[in-house]
Amino acid sequence: MAEKPPLVLHICCAPDEAWVVHTLRDRYNLTCFFCNPNIAPEQEYRLRAREAGLVAAHYLVPYAEDDYLPDSWECAVADAAETPEGGERCRRCFTLRLSRTAAFCCARSLPAFTTVMSVSPHKSIRLLNECGQAVAAAWNLTWMPFDFKKQDGFRKSTVLSSELGLYRQDYCGCRLSKEERNQRTAARLLSLAP
């Protein structure tokens, strides 16, 4: 049987990781790389990282975690902090995390990478691919433009993460997305008030 090609997965959270590893493990020689300086507060970061490590262990996939460098995220988005989720702030956030993933690939002579973030229906596949392709070109690597939400991927991922008993966060990750989540919740509660 032909050897499986290597593929590095940028991991943002355990539920997305589980679905993608479950989907690709028979076709690729996977390595999981948890790289998320965007996540705040640190307690939330540690929780998501711990769960991601458990998923990799469950599927017997090599796993590495980047250093937690929240200042790098603050610098990257500094003059785009006022832009809404899905805009320039997220472009910079994706580019930062994928660039560090590319550096991880180069340090280990692994030629191709992608991200599990496309499981989420909240992430623009166009933006993810633009960022991934630009980073890959800069590092002379191959970006694999998967869209893991296709073929009912998002719903199936929720079923799998529930079966595995994984923690599922209710905001994207950064402090700004947490504030936006809080504002949405408050607005919803207000709209229900008599």
105 or 176, CB closer to ligand SF4? 176
Residues in region 20-59 near ligand SF4 by CB under 6 A: 38
The secondary element (H helix, E strand) that includes residue 9 is strand 6-11
Residues 162-181: x where in contact with ligand SF4 by CB under 6 A, - otherwise, as a string = ----------xxx-xx----
65 or 85, CB closer to ligand SF4? 85
28 or 177, CB closer to ligand SF4? 177
Q: Say whether residue 135 binds ligand SF4 (CB under 6 A).
A: no
From the list 82-90, 101-109, 135-143, 154-162, the region that binds ligand SF4 by CB under 6 A is 82-90
Both structure tokens of 167: 């923690």
Q: Which of 74, 85, 88, 130 binds ligand SF4 (CB under 6 A)?
A: 85
Q: Say whether residue 100 binds ligand SF4 (CB under 6 A).
A: no
Minimum CB separation of residue 40 from ligand SF4 in Å reads 9
For CA atoms 44, 45, 49, 52, the dihedral sign is positive
Q: Say whether residue 116 binds ligand SF4 (CB under 6 A).
A: no
Minimum CB separation of residue 90 from ligand SF4 in Å reads 3
Contacts 24+ apart (CB under 8 A), 64-70: 64/31, 64/32, 64/33, 64/34, 64/104, 65/33, 65/34, 65/35, 66/33, 66/34, 66/35, 66/36, 66/37, 66/100, 66/104, 68/37, 68/42, 69/37, 70/37, 70/38, 70/39, 70/40, 70/42, 70/45
CA 92, 96, 99: angle at the middle one, nearest 5?
130
Which residues of this chain interact with ligand SF4, rule CB under 6 A?
38, 85, 89-90, 93, 172-174, 176-177
